[in-house]
Amino acid sequence: MELHSDETLWYFFKKGEVHAFSLLFKKYYPQLYVYGIKLSNAPALTEDCLQNFFIQLYEEREKKGTIKNLKAYLFVSFKRRLIKQLQKNQNNIPISEAQLFKSNFTFSAEEISIHQEIQFLCTTTLSQLINQLSPRQKEVIYLKYYSNMCSTDIAEVMDMNYQSVLNVLQKALSKLRLASQNQQIKSVLKKN
């Protein structure tokens, strides 16, 4: 009986229905909140920014057209807003996205499930390995496996084409695979 596809939610949201707003908020707040924190490393700022983001979304709902892909749309527009806010906090000194997000997307061991197909790695090691990836690789990994986004959506959020998303994923994962193999060899050597 799950009627609330994103299309339905968006339709009622645009009409100004309170419940549609609440449902939309409840559905996407958690994901956007964590995404914002991963991007900015600043929980308080993310929280404020996300509040304002939802308020603005509601106030400007009538201006917005039909949105094909709500999830990607929300991620993209929230990210843009967050970047703007961060730049403002830097006293409007133009600062590149890469610089802004220098230390973004760090993962803790608690965020990694023990059951991994990339075997023989403890969660701590795996989180360390992921944290060593490039910011772009980490963001793709985050969107794909943490936020369960499909590659087409990721392409939209990251402003890349579909093929590049696959390439980034492939590079990131083969780096991890290689690192995990090295770890395995090391651990085998230690035992002997």
CA distance 100 to 153: 23
Say which residues have a Cβ less than 8 Å from residue 140's Cβ, sequence separation at least 6: 154, 158, 165, 168, 169, 172
115/147 Cα distance (integer angstroms): 18
Identify which of residues 5 and 90 has a Cβ nearer to another protein in the complex: 5
Binding mask 25-64 for another protein (x = CB under 8 A): xx--xxx-xx------------x--xx--xx--xx-----
Tokens (6 digits) for 43: 């929980």
Q: How many residues bind another protein (CB under 8 A)?
A: 57
Q: Do residues 20 and 13 make contact, with C-beta atoms less than 8 angstroms apart?
A: yes
Stretch of residues binding another protein (CB under 8 A), selected from 69-77, 86-94, 106-114, 181-189: 106-114
Q: How distant is the alpha carbon of residue 164 from its chain centre?
A: 17
Q: How far is the CB of 172 from another protein (least distance, A)?
A: 9
If the CB atoms of residues 87 and 123 are measured against another protein, the closer one turns out to be 123
Distances (CA, A) of 116 to 28, 127, 174: 27, 12, 15
Cβ 171 to another protein, closest distance in Å?
A: 9
Residue 129 main-chain phi, psi, to 5 deg: -65, -45
- Least spacing, CB of residue 96 vs another protein, in Å: 28
Q: Does 22 bind another protein (CB under 8 A)?
A: yes
Binding site for another protein (CB under 8 A): 1-5, 7-8, 11-12, 17-23, 25-26, 29-31, 33-34, 47, 50-51, 54-55, 58-59, 107, 110-113, 115-118, 126, 130, 141, 144-147, 151, 162-163, 166-167, 169-170, 173-174, 176-177
